[in-house]
Amino acid sequence: AQRVTQPEKLLSVFKGAPVELKCNYSYSGSPELFWYVQYSRQRLQLLLRHISRESIKGFTADLNKGETSFHLKKPFAQEEDSAMYYCALGRATGKLIFGQGTTLQVKP
């Protein structure tokens, strides 16, 4: 079965601390993985996708097929990073399977 698991419901860090939001997936084929973010009072939007292999707002995520993980990392958290983060597994039909979401709280 296809599944995305984000084990942490809430992650609270201090400004300047490193951040790692965990994501594990279950999928028999070749996965397409994404991170979506929802800032307060804004719509859900794409943060990054694994095929792009880019850094957005200082965030990176590496696909580890051996561990079936796609963790989101940032070396130094900023207060404006506080948001809800969703890891998602994509299918060719356009369907996205989302994880449960992790709220990142960056304290001053």
Distance (Å, whole) CA 97 – CA 90? 6
Q: In the chain, what are the helix, strand and coil shares in percent, each to the nearest 5?
A: 5, 50, 50
Is the CB of 7 or the CB of 18 nearer to another protein? 7
Sign of CA dihedral 68, 102, 58, 107: negative
| Interaction of residue 1 with another protein, rule CB under 8 A | no
Distance (Å, whole) CA 74 – CA 60? 7
In the stretch 55-94, what mask flags binding to another protein with x, by CB under 8 A? -----------------------------x-x---xxxxx
Distances (CA, A) of 102 to 28, 29, 94: 24, 25, 23
Is the CB of 65 or the CB of 95 nearer to another protein? 95
Number of residues in contact with another protein under rule CB under 8 A = 22
Residues 15-54 that bind another protein (CB under 8 A): 32, 34, 36, 43-46, 49
Residues in touch with another protein (CB under 8 A):
32, 34, 36, 43-46, 49, 84, 86, 90-98, 100-101, 103
